[in-house]
Amino acid sequence: MKRVDDFRLTLGKHELVPIMVGGMGVDISTAELSLEAARLGGIGHISDAMLPTVSDRRYNTKYVKNKLQQYKFNVANTDKSVVQFDLGLIAEATATHVRRTMEAKRGDGLIFINCMEKLTMNSPKETLRVRLKAAMDNGIDGITLAAGLHLGSFGLIEDHPRFRDVRLGIIVSSLRALQLFLKKSARTGRMPDYVVVEGPLAGGHLGFGMDWPEYDLATIFAEIRDWLREQQLDIPLIPAGGIFTGSDAVAFLEQGAAGVQVATRFTVTTECGLPPDVQQHYFKADEDDIEVNQISPTGYPMRMLKSSPAIGSGIRPNCEAYGYLLDANGNCQYIEAYNREVAAHPEAKKVKVSDKTCLCTHMRNFDCWTCGQFTYRLKDTSVREENGDYRILSAEHVFRDYQFSTDGRIALPT
């Protein structure tokens, strides 16, 4: 019986353990987690979501305070179109996080950055260009384009000196999305170096509608693999979403996957950014504690624990401090939902907003507990302490369990 370690992921001159730890927004996939994946010979991701905020927390900068100061006059205003990010500061925050992470890298693995198109930041094209460029300038090994079709993203960076040397990949959830991306990117004369095929059991935002239960990863993966073969396109495919054991991974590797992307099992590791008390909620979740809902103002369905404080929260939109989901006109679906509730309850001190959430604030505060469908199996991956809590694992333990386990087994910590 094969193990993941019997396979290697070849990307250019790199021979990697075929395990990629997926990007998890707003510093859930921390630098520390990505560094462990790289040290162990795989691929780790940092995320570029809300990096000014992340930088404040990690490196004692004051981006959020200063931005709020600058736009304080607008806090009570429903029109957020004046709230703009300073492109120089976005570049600076991205540069610091990427540079510091890359400087700390040890081992033969790689560190990529997960870059979400849906973080439109009031100026979708310009802010995305700056984020991509700053990551490349500061030595990132690769960029995974996520949460969006990214039809123009290669075009935004085609003049960058590293455009052909940095590893560029995209996450898709259908053959159609991949075909569109390849068609639109063809003009740049460059193929993606890898494609992550993300199925409906993943954490974070889903590339499916609320009919997600009708899809399955193995079928989408096979469809994309067969089409690429037909087209004689040799692009490494990396399935993701619900790959919970080493044996699950081997099944895909035997079907022609070049590697696997995994995330949920790493949410309960020391290196993960989730606070320890939140990690206990992940460990203790049962299957019916998890839902896919539509409260994300991005318009994509999102999977999360039903007990997430973000659900039903009616806080005032925090766009002057954050504003990462404002579209080019300064709109966000949460602002509309919030204003509707305020208008309906003019006397209320606090309103409840149940159809949308202020995702910036709640992701920033680790109050939106997004998770993969198999979060309810995390309790089978650790041991219980005397106080009833589960033992937090090391990223190395989880990584090696994927790498070496057989027969669907999961190694418990000793």
Ligand X SMILES: Cc1cc2nc3c(=O)[nH]c(=O)nc-3n(C[C@H](O)[C@H](O)[C@H](O)COP(=O)(O)O)c2cc1C
Residue closest to 132 by CA, chosen among 101, 171, 158: 158
Binding mask 351-390 for ligand X (x = CB under 6 A): -------------------xxx-x----------------
Residue of 9, 19, 91, 146 interacting with ligand X (CB under 6 A): 146
Angle at 264 between CA 258 and CA 267, to 5 degrees: 125
**138: alpha, beta or left, given left = phi > 0 and alpha = psi -120 to 50?**
alpha
- Rounded-to-integer distance, Cα 177 and Cα 22, Å: 19
The size of the interface with ligand X (CB under 6 A), counted in residues, is: 30
Residues 315-354: x/- map of binding to ligand X (CB under 6 A)?
----------------------------------------
Binding mask 1-30 for ligand X (x = CB under 6 A): ---------------------xxxx--x--
Closer to ligand X at the Cβ: 116 or 392? 116
Closer CB to ligand X, 16 or 285, in the complex: 285
Q: How far is the CB of 369 from ligand X (least distance, A)?
A: 8
Which of helix, strand or coil describes residue 347? coil
Of 53, 61, 267, 308, the residue at the interface with ligand X (CB under 6 A) is 267
- The minimum distance between CB 116 and ligand X, in angstroms, equals 6
Among 128, 134, 143, 243, binds ligand X (CB under 6 A): 243
Distance between CA atoms of residues 220 and 234, nearest Å: 17
Minimal distance, residue 205 CB to ligand X, in Å:
7
Rounded alpha-carbon distances, angstroms, from residue 301 to 215, 298, 378: 14, 8, 22
Binding track over 62-91 against ligand X, x by CB under 6 A: ------------------------------
Whole-number Cα distances in Å, 38 to 109, 302, 305, 315: 4, 28, 29, 39
Tell me the pairing of strands 302-305 and 204-205: antiparallel
CA dist., res. 111 & res. 312, Å (int) = 36
Per CB under 6 A, 264 contacts ligand X? yes
- Piece of the chain touching ligand X by CB under 6 A; list 103-111, 215-223, 224-232, 260-268: 260-268
Minimum gap (Å) between residue 208 Cβ and ligand X? 13
As a whole number of angstroms, the distance between CA 272 and CA 274 comes to 6
**Residue 194 φ then ψ, to 5°:** -160, 155
The smaller minimum CB distance to ligand X, of residues 68 and 217, is found at 217
Judged by CB under 6 A, the stretch of 71-79, 80-88, 238-246, 391-399 that binds ligand X is 238-246
Residue whose CB is less far from ligand X, 63 or 244: 244
The distance of Cα 391 from the centroid of its chain, to the nearest Å, equals 24
Smallest distance from the beta carbon of 288 to ligand X, in angstroms?
18
The label of the residue with tokens 């400087």 reads 103
Does residue 201 interact with ligand X by CB under 6 A?
Answer: yes
The closest of 117, 142, 128, 124 to 37, measured between CA atoms, is 142
Cβ-Cβ contacts under 8 Å for 344 (sequence gap 6 or more): none
User: Does residue number 263 form part of the binding site for ligand X (CB under 6 A)?
Assistant: yes
Q: Check residue 268 for interaction with ligand X (CB under 6 A).
A: no
3-state secondary structure of 201: coil
Among 91, 135, 171, 310, binds ligand X (CB under 6 A): 171
Q: Does 44 bind ligand X (CB under 6 A)?
A: no
Q: Which is nearer to ligand X, 134 or 290 (CB)?
A: 290
For residues 244 and 251, is the Cβ–Cβ distance under 8 A? no
Q: How far apart are the first and last CA of the chain?
A: 25
Token pair for 394: 């090391």
Q: Rule CB under 6 A: which residues touch ligand X?
A: 22-25, 28, 47, 49, 114, 116, 146-147, 171, 198, 201-204, 240-243, 261-264, 267, 370-372, 374
